[in-house]
Structure 1
């Protein structure tokens, strides 16, 4: 009986950890969708996009920048330090997805 209970507990812990791992993993495809919806008015966010605001870096430029790794980019997106970029009130998951998309290999 004790072995069965231990097995059930181990199974529950395994399932819980699987769910946590999935929720933490960033999804660059979802990040692309967020970028196209919220960022493409000012930034060039994808190959083939023909317009952006002058003087605003493209996502490809940001992605190649040594200044930003995913952690520092996430911190920047959570609290933009300048007034030109609006605070989009993204969730931590959306920020992680957007940062993953930006840091993905860009042309």
Structure 2
């Protein structure tokens, strides 16, 4: 599992609608703790999220095996589902699902 990619997609998805709130950070910490990702790592990644190239991340995602792709998608759904999906969040999930479907067919 590519924990860094998972963390960056999680943060990018949450931040797609603007600033990440304290509640969203707490949700990230709670969900990502299952992958041994620390609060400090998440905080650093949030501070540096502008350096994350989503297109490059999508390419990296396409190269993962099917189980890892499914894990990232299901984790993002858990993180984002709390307050309903915005259009931008739904599009990111849809893009990831399409890549997963294409690379596993």
Q: TM-score, normalised by structure 1?
A: 0.31
Larger-Rg structure: 1
Query: Which structure shows the bigger proportion of residues in helix conformation?
Result: 2
Q: TM-score, normalised by structure 2?
A: 0.31
